[in-house]
Amino acid sequence: MDPPSAAPSCTRFADALYFCYSPVWQVTELYRQGRLDDCKGKWGELYDCLSLRARPNPELQVSPACVHRGASQGRIA
């Protein structure tokens, strides 16, 4: 089991981003929403995870689920 201060794995976010660009997902979105998905939310989640992994260990106490895009710039998302 990983210690609580271990950096989270970003594999699931990378996989979700990869799937977002797949033809299956894009055709599904086109059928359901009438537009293609730009996958911006998936990019944001991957960026947040990678930036969390790049932080020094004392700052890793923050849960990845609580990190929101823009929070590191002082904005509340």
Distance CA 63, CA 57 (A): 13
Residue-wise pLDDT tens digits, 2-59: 455 566 789 999 999 999 999 999 999 999 999 999 999 999 999 999 998 888 766 5
Of residues 58 and 70, which shows the higher confidence score? Answer: 58
pTM of the model: 0.60
Q: If you search the block for the tokens 């509340």, which residue do you land on?
A: 76
Question: What pLDDT score does 64 carry?
Answer: 55
Alpha helices in the chain (DSSP H): 11-20, 23-33, 40-53
